[in-house]
Amino acid sequence: MARIVVIGGSGHVGTYLVPRLVELGHDVVNVSRGEARPYRPHQAWSAVETVTLDRIAEESRGRFGPAIAGLRPDIVVDMIAFDPGSTRHLVEALRGQVEHYLFCSSIWVYGRLFAVPSTETDPPNPIDSYGRGKAESEAWLVHEARRSGFPATCFRPGHIVGEGWHPITPQGNTNPETFTRIARGEELVLPNLGLEMVHHVHADDVAQWIVCAIENRAATIGEVFNTVSAQALTLRGYAEAVYRWFGQEPRISFAPYETWIAELGDWAESTRGHVIRSSCHSIEKSRQRLGYNPRYSSLEAVHQSVQALIADGTVSLG
DSSP 97-163: T-SEEEEE--GGG-SS-SSSSB-TTSPP---SHHHHHHHHHHHHHHHHHHHT---EEEEEE-EEEST
Cβ–Cβ < 8 Å for 308, 163: yes
Q: Which residue type, as a one-letter code, is found at position 158?
A: G
Helix locations, the chain, DSSP H? 12-23, 55-60, 64-69, 84-94, 129-147, 177-183, 203-215, 235-245, 257-262, 268-277, 284-290, 298-311
Q: Is the separation of the CB atoms in 283 and 226 below 8 Å?
A: yes
290 exposure class (CB count in 10 Å sphere: 0-12, 13-18, 19+): buried
For the chain (318 residues), the mean pLDDT of every run of 10, in chain order, is 94 94 96 74 83 94 96 97 96 97 98 96 96 98 97 98 93 97 97 98 98 97 98 98 97 97 94 96 98 98 96 90
**pLDDT score recorded for residue 82:** 94
pLDDT value for 189: 98
Q: What is the CA radius of gyration of the chain?
A: 20
The CATH topology of domain 3-111+118-160+202-227 is Rossmann fold (3.40.50)
pLDDT at 37: 67
Of 224, 226, 223, 225, the C-alpha closest to 146 is 223
Identify the three-state secondary structure at position 81.
coil
Phi, psi values for residue 281, rounded to 5°:
-130, 145
Strand partners, 154: 103, 224
pTM for this predicted structure: 0.95
Domain ranges of the chain: 3-111+118-160+202-227, 163-199+233-288+297-311
CA distance 89 to 23: 31
User: At CB < 8 A and 24+ separation, what contacts does 269-274 make?
Assistant: 270/172, 270/173, 270/174, 271/171, 271/172, 271/173, 273/108, 273/128, 274/159, 274/168, 274/172, 274/173, 274/198
Region for residue 155 given its phi and psi (left: phi exceeds 0; alpha: psi -120 to 50; beta: otherwise): beta
